[in-house]
Amino acid sequence: MDTSSEKVMDLKTAVARFVPDGAHISIGGFTCNRNPMAAVYEIIRQRKTGLHLYAHSNGQGVDELVGAGCVARVEIAYAGTGRFAPTCIRFRKAVENGTIAVEDYSNYQMTLRFLAGAMGVPFLPTRSALGTDIIRRWGFSEALRRSNPRLPNEKLVVMDNPFGGWAETDRVVLVPAIRPDVTLLHVQKAGRDGTARIEGLTFADVEQAKAARHVIVTCEDLADAGELRAHPHLNQLPGILLDAVVHVPHGAYPTACYRYYDYDPAFLNDYRTAATDDERYTRYLRDWIFEPSDHREQHARIPEGRLAAIQADPHTGYAKGLKR
Amino acid sequence: MDTSSEKVMDLKTAVARFVPDGAHISIGGFTCNRNPMAAVYEIIRQRKTGLHLYAHSNGQGVDELVGAGCVARVEIAYAGTGRFAPTCIRFRKAVENGTIAVEDYSNYQMTLRFLAGAMGVPFLPTRSALGTDIIRRWGFSEALRRSNPRLPNEKLVVMDNPFGGWAETDRVVLVPAIRPDVTLLHVQKAGRDGTARIEGLTFADVEQAKAARHVIVTCEDLADAGELRAHPHLNQLPGILLDAVVHVPHGAYPTACYRYYDYDPAFLNDYRTAATDDERYTRYLRDWIFEPSDHREQHARIPEGRLAAIQADPHTGYAKGLKR
Amino acid sequence: MPGYNARELMAIAAARKINDGEIVFCGTGISMLAAMAAKHICAPNSIIIFETGAIDSQLEEIPMAVGDSRVMLGASSNSGLADSFALMQNRTTGRHVVGILGAAQIDLFGNLNSTVVGDYDRPSVRFAGSGGAADVASFVDRTLIFMQHERRKFVSNVDYLTSPGWLDGPDGRRKAGLPGNGPAAVISNLAVMGFDDATREMFLEAYFPGVTPQAVLDNMEFTVDLSRARELEPPTERELRILREIVDPQRLILGG
Amino acid sequence: MPGYNARELMAIAAARKINDGEIVFCGTGISMLAAMAAKHICAPNSIIIFETGAIDSQLEEIPMAVGDSRVMLGASSNSGLADSFALMQNRTTGRHVVGILGAAQIDLFGNLNSTVVGDYDRPSVRFAGSGGAADVASFVDRTLIFMQHERRKFVSNVDYLTSPGWLDGPDGRRKAGLPGNGPAAVISNLAVMGFDDATREMFLEAYFPGVTPQAVLDNMEFTVDLSRARELEPPTERELRILREIVDPQRLILGG
């Protein structure tokens, strides 16, 4: 958080300042929608390593961070990008090769963990996954948990209802709070003061931002704060929560941004092809991420007509009839 | 809840159907803002008794329900209407005369209790009020709690953090979920299908509605569902949650409705005067609530010019320069 | 070979099992086809919800993922994951939800694995993981499961129990502290399987036209009761037209 | 008698104690005057929040209650109670919040009663109750308390402990499991009181012009250390102009 009224900076500065090696981070969006991809690519470009990543179903951004070798550990519910990658390919390789440590939760459990962090409580209760291996099996060893103060000692705690059978409930599972060092989001509109507005589904972006010590937001439109403050109930994040506002049009590409553009099926299909082969993936990283010095240079490499094809229709918020 | 697509009915029917004597109810709004007053007056007109009322700081509506003798028990954080009644007068009389039973919580605790009901969990944790009489003193006796299956056995439960010192927390207090039989709200816009949109602060309306078995919503505008569904992220309540939609312009009067009208200071000052004297209050109930057969007849009794004076200014959402 | 493929039949078989007025929790792929088809076939007042927070979506195009912007269209409300799962965990609303799920492995009691094949600590195959599946399977009163009917998928013991079915039998969920019920049915590319009210064990309810009960058994590691098995009614012209012309005209899920 | 009344001096004394960059939690009445005045006097980058969910409100007219639509004007975001209290309980943001509270009774350690006078089960006087006061007093790192300076209000033992101050002394909050700190100061119509860093007991920090330290003691049930007491600097012309012309020109709170 930051109570000052001027948060605008460039992406290089924001990532360099708030995403050190080994940072505990979370990214917004869901599968192929509103991932903060420009920020993800900048993290990769700055060759960050040893990141601890918290995800529910954050999809494409997760696979690219893992694929580029930035991630040491991930706590996650779902690593997929819908039909484009039922299981994220670089994530799958990394787990099968044992190059990253994984802890499995469910989507609601991860959402509640961010919410607990946002609320400032150590845990929240749910009835999700009682009787399953999500509770029985730990991906992080007890030794790792006890040696690392950034991890709770228990993955989950099952507890009898202290209010007897109140609310027809005998037992709950408590999920531990998450406090990321930084959460990175891409939103439709933000003001210089940090006031941020998301249109359409918010996924768990709001909980992820409020749980974090620092928040970096990239936005399609750098809006006038006065315009955003004329309808404060449409703003999900008050300015004080943000540390950095970065104006990055198409900052979610190749994932979608509701009412602005759709996901790019051609890119995501090409990505799948590249991801299945290590050599091709190395070329992909070089050509698409490392060679371009920034978002602008990177997007200059998008083939002619691609962005026009995914332009959102104003009524539906997506590209109607897009070839998928 | 109700999955049908036609929820519109009149207020008499809605209250008769969903608010039986002895019902556990909650009302929306906060102090002098967006209380569902038309619904409150209809409950009084139908002479409901023995109600169990859940409130955070629901203000004017609480005092009128208590004053009319509809309420047997109240679980509440704050009974006041701002400067118009730092302590609600009929509430104060009822407590001092022992005619209602009261259980005290804090505003956040009551909010979390509604949220727990909405989430379908038996409790939620917080650090609020540790070490205070809110935790030590019970308004409802253990005998009452054990004899009434609609009440949890414990007012609150203090527990050590099962995740050790995780999130710098040694101890939390668990607040029990609330499941009202019915929650009554007044909102700016609702559709026939039950889709409801609140403008401005939502207070705890959304949690209160989602916690309840039934929901009655009165609205300023009966909007076209298609218009509301064109921007679904602006709708706080999906249609399936509502059982009744009632079109009641000025349904929050004498409390405020953001962007529609302000609270009526003249009414609230007269109310204070009436409330301080039992005879005057009896006349107030007769003239303002019992004699008029419905909301329309009641509002025909509002002195000339009053509604014009509190008309909201479109920019600020309240009546600028209102004589208060 | 009749004039329809297995996917079409699976989608229609599942759609027929959706009751009018139900709240249908949708995953990706074929489950969306079933939910969309049901609205036209047998459940005009059913409502489609997604874990991403879209409630009562009016789908015009097939979403490629539950995070696809297409799920937002014409919804009664769009919020986020927290609200969507709360609606399912909440017993007032959750009781009316039917969840449609899929998995890599399923056992006799309908427990699902969508996490790993092999040892969890060093898996031979890693899948996407639970996503919202474990949540839905824990909370709601009815689930329908889509499966590819292969021996390595209908297993005696799942390698990892991601989403709870009936766990170890009739009393399993209560003992574990779970609300709601386990699966109501499994729809595969060969058959429809139910779960016995008393034992909660899977049984063969109906085999697809042209498939024998024995062929169903041959593709499972465990055996199921065949005594109640009948042949599934083939899709009607109307059902097929709805599926092909209204639900997935681009054949994005139905395939070529 | 100088050209200002006690309320004006109280509002200004409190405003002077708000640090630049702080998040100011506001109740009704005089606490709003202090928060609004501070923005013009000493804390231009302070931010006003309300428990009702308004964050960084740009107040143009004095709200009569924290639920007044006036608190919504020009805010960075307007949501609800859940978000507002979470912001205070969350240690990253809560650490920057200064809460301004009032009460019917206060004790030596700054514990507050806003619930009842007499026995809780059959009170002689019933007040509104905690509202958000117990929450704020539990969560935030600094609180400022407004009190009317009367013997029956500065009591040896509060009849009901609604909002935690320093509880029973230096270690009280930690033992109870509370984050944050107890009150930083009490501002009455006679004086400003601080709390000793070691003992957490109230002491007289400054008495209002024209008031003697003994007069302060005469209006309390308990005694406080006077050794650090000085006379409060009277309000400046500028402070008074801000309060009267910008903050409360209608004198809704300042009175006639």
Tens digits of residue pLDDT in D18-41: 999 999 999 888 999 999 999 999
Q: How big is the B-D interface in CB pairs under 8 Å? A: 215
* Residue C251 near chain A (CB below 8 Å): no
Residue with tokens 């409801």: B196
d(CA B193, CA A146): 53
DSSP state of B168: G
Please tell me whether residue B245 adopts helix, strand or coil conformation. Answer: strand
Average pLDDT over residues A170-181: 98
Dig out the tokens for C203 from the structure.
């049984």
- In chain A, which residue ranges form alpha helices assigned H by DSSP? 11-18, 37-45, 60-67, 89-96, 107-119, 133-136, 142-147, 205-211, 225-229, 265-275, 278-284, 295-299, 306-310
Residue B197 C-beta-side C-alpha neighbours within 13 Å: 28
**Chain A partners within 8 Å of B119 (Cβ):** 126
Cβ contact (<8 Å) for A213 and D92? Answer: yes
Cβ count near D137 (within 10 Å): 31
- The rounded Cα A323 to chain-centroid distance in angstroms is 26
Average pLDDT, chain B: 97
pLDDT band at D174 (very low <50, low <70, confident <90, very high): very high
| pLDDT tens-place string over residues A244-285 | 999 999 999 999 999 999 999 999 999 999 999 999 999 999
pLDDT at B88: 96
**Chain C partners within 8 Å of A207 (Cβ):** 80, 82
pLDDT at A4: 85
Determine the residue type at B53: L
> Closest by alpha carbon to B117, among B4, B24, B197?
B24
pLDDT greater than 50 at residue A194: yes
Top residue of C48, C76, C96 to mutate, by most chain B CBs within 10 Å, is: C76
pLDDT greater than 90 at residue C2: no
- The rounded Cα B174 to chain-centroid distance in angstroms is 23
pLDDT at C92: 96
Cis omega before residue B254 (within 30°)? Answer: yes
Average pLDDT over residues C88-96: 97
Asked whether the beta carbons of A315 and A258 are under 8 A apart, the reply is no
> Closest by alpha carbon to A104, among A155, A168, A146?
A155
Asked whether the beta carbons of A66 and A44 are under 8 A apart, the reply is no
Average pLDDT over residues B72-79: 98
> Closest by alpha carbon to C163, among C185, C198, C134, C190?
C134
| pLDDT tens-place string over residues C173-226 | 999 999 989 999 999 999 999 999 999 999 999 999 999 999 999 999 999 999
Average pLDDT over residues C10-37: 94
d(CA C13, CA C194): 12
Average pLDDT over residues B190-212: 98
A:92-131 residues touching chain C, CB 8 A cutoff: 92, 95-96, 98, 104-109, 111-112, 115, 126-131
d(CA C228, CA C203): 8
Average pLDDT over residues A169-195: 98
Dig out the tokens for C32 from the structure.
């969306």
Q: How big is the A-D interface in CB pairs under 8 Å? A: 76
Could you tell me which residues come within 8 angstroms of residue C58 by beta carbon, excluding any fewer than 6 positions away?
B229, C73, C74, C75
Cβ contact (<8 Å) for C86 and B236? Answer: no
* Residue B238 near chain D (CB below 8 Å): no
Closest CA–CA distance from residue A190 to any residue of chain D (Å): 11
pLDDT at D2: 54
- Chain C contact partners (≥3 CB pairs within 8 A): A, B
d(CA A90, CA A64): 8
Determine the residue type at D127: F
**Chain D partners within 8 Å of B33 (Cβ):** 65, 67-69
d(CA D236, CA D234): 6
Closest CA–CA distance from residue B291 to any residue of chain D (Å): 30
Dig out the tokens for B195 from the structure.
């889709």
Query: A186-197 b/e with 16+ CB inside 10 Å = b?
Result: bbbbbbbbbbbb
Question: In chain B, which residue's Cα lies nearest the Cα of D180?
Answer: B127
Please tell me whether residue B141 adopts helix, strand or coil conformation. Answer: coil
d(CA A103, CA D176): 34
Strands B182-191 and A182-191: unpaired
Q: What are phi and psi of A286, to 5 degrees?
A: -65, -55
Average pLDDT over residues A130-155: 97
Bridge partners (DSSP) listed for residue A133: none
* Residue B182 near chain C (CB below 8 Å): no
Bridge partners (DSSP) listed for residue B246: B218
The CA-CA-CA angle for residues A136, A139, A142, to 5°, reads 80
User: What is the four-CA torsion angle of C243, C244, C249, C254, rounded to 10 degrees?
Assistant: 80
| pLDDT tens-place string over residues B231-247 | 999 999 999 999 999 99
> Closest by alpha carbon to B56, among B31, B90, B33?
B31
Cβ contact (<8 Å) for D86 and A195? Answer: no
Could you tell me which residues come within 8 angstroms of residue A33 by beta carbon, excluding any fewer than 6 positions away?
A59, A201, A203, A252, A255, A256, A257, A258, A263, C65, C67, C68, C69
d(CA C212, CA C231): 9
Question: In chain A, which residue's Cα lies nearest the Cα of B153?
Answer: A163
DSSP code string of B266-308 = HHHHHHHHHHTSHHHHHHHIIIIIISSSSHHHHHTTS-TTHHH
Q: Which residue of B127, B137, B200 is in closest CB contact with D138?
A: B127
Asked whether the beta carbons of D217 and D179 are under 8 A apart, the reply is no
Q: Which residue of B159, B174, B200 is in closest CB contact with A233?
A: B200
d(CA B295, CA B300): 9
> Closest by alpha carbon to B210, among B120, B147, B321?
B120
Task: Please give the positions of D annotated as active site.
Answer: 51
pLDDT band at B4 (very low <50, low <70, confident <90, very high): confident
Closest CA–CA distance from residue B193 to any residue of chain C (Å): 9
Dig out the tokens for C212 from the structure.
């024998």
Q: How far apart are the first and last CA of chain D?
A: 16
- Chain D contact partners (≥3 CB pairs within 8 A): A, B
pLDDT at A5: 86
Asked whether the beta carbons of D155 and D149 are under 8 A apart, the reply is no
Bridge partners (DSSP) listed for residue D47: D23
Please tell me whether residue D7 adopts helix, strand or coil conformation. Answer: helix
Q: Sign of dihedral through CA atoms A151, B109, B128, D187?
A: positive
Overall residue count recorded for chain B in this entry? 324
d(CA D20, CA D58): 16
* Residue C122 near chain A (CB below 8 Å): yes
Q: Sign of dihedral through CA atoms A314, A242, D85, B317?
A: negative
C245 catalytic? Reply is no
- Chain B contact partners (≥3 CB pairs within 8 A): A, C, D
Cis omega before residue A152 (within 30°)? Answer: no
Strands D97-102 and D23-25: parallel
Q: Is the ipTM of this complex over 0.90?
A: yes
Closest CA–CA distance from residue A256 to any residue of chain D (Å): 25
Closest CA–CA distance from residue B173 to any residue of chain C (Å): 22
pLDDT greater than 80 at residue A209: yes
Q: Sign of dihedral through CA atoms B178, B58, B111, D128?
A: negative
**Chain B partners within 8 Å of D72 (Cβ):** 200-201, 258, 317
Cβ contact (<8 Å) for B121 and A126? Answer: yes
Asked whether the beta carbons of A175 and A26 are under 8 A apart, the reply is no
Residue A57 C-beta-side C-alpha neighbours within 13 Å: 32
pLDDT greater than 80 at residue D120: yes
Please tell me whether residue C32 adopts helix, strand or coil conformation. Answer: helix
pLDDT at A225: 87
- The rounded Cα B194 to chain-centroid distance in angstroms is 19
Cβ contact (<8 Å) for D53 and B202? Answer: yes
> Closest by alpha carbon to A174, among A159, A152, A153?
A159
The CA-CA-CA angle for residues B276, B281, B286, to 5°, reads 170
* Residue D178 near chain A (CB below 8 Å): no
Cβ contact (<8 Å) for B195 and C23? Answer: no
Determine the residue type at D203: F
Cβ contact (<8 Å) for A88 and C128? Answer: yes
Cβ contact (<8 Å) for C51 and A107? Answer: yes
Cβ contact (<8 Å) for C115 and A104? Answer: yes
Please tell me whether residue A76 adopts helix, strand or coil conformation. Answer: strand
| Helix (H) or strand (E) segment spanning residue D147 | strand D142-147
